[in-house]
Amino acid sequence: MLINSNANSAIVAGQFGLQRSFDGMTQSALSIAQKTAQQQVAQQGVGEMLANAGLRGLSTTTDLLPKANGDMMSDLLSMQLYSNNALASAKVLDVANDTVGKIIDTIA
């Protein structure tokens, strides 16, 4: 029974790790997209940005863009970190799945 409990714990830990990694990757990607949009406004000017985005009725987009914290490098590093965590969590799930399969084969 202890083996079954440990296998379930590993599966839950792996799933939790994957979810946290995906959440972090989503946040990092959003922050990168926000910074990219802000840079485009700064480089192209409001008029060209509005024309490119099809937002002709607005006088400015800078007030519409959410303010992002940190810098692009930290967001890219966060994305890599979360990606590595997702890979590790997937490996935990893979090993737990193999272990449960071996236990079932042994018992059967």
Mean of the per-residue pLDDT values for the chain? 77
Higher confidence at residue 3 or residue 99?
Answer: 99
Closest CA to 82 of 33, 29, 31: 29
Q: Which residue has the higher pLDDT, 66 or 1?
A: 66
Q: Where are the domains of the chain?
A: 25-107
Cβ atoms 20, 91 nearer than 8 A? no
pLDDT top residue among 73 and 57? 73
Span 78-99, average pLDDT: 86
pTM: 0.47
Query: Long-range contacts of range 42-46, CB-CB < 8 Å, 24 or more positions apart?
Result: none
3-state secondary structure of 29: helix
Q: pLDDT digits over 20-65, tens only?
A: 999 999 999 999 988 888 887 788 876 776 676 664 444 454 565 5
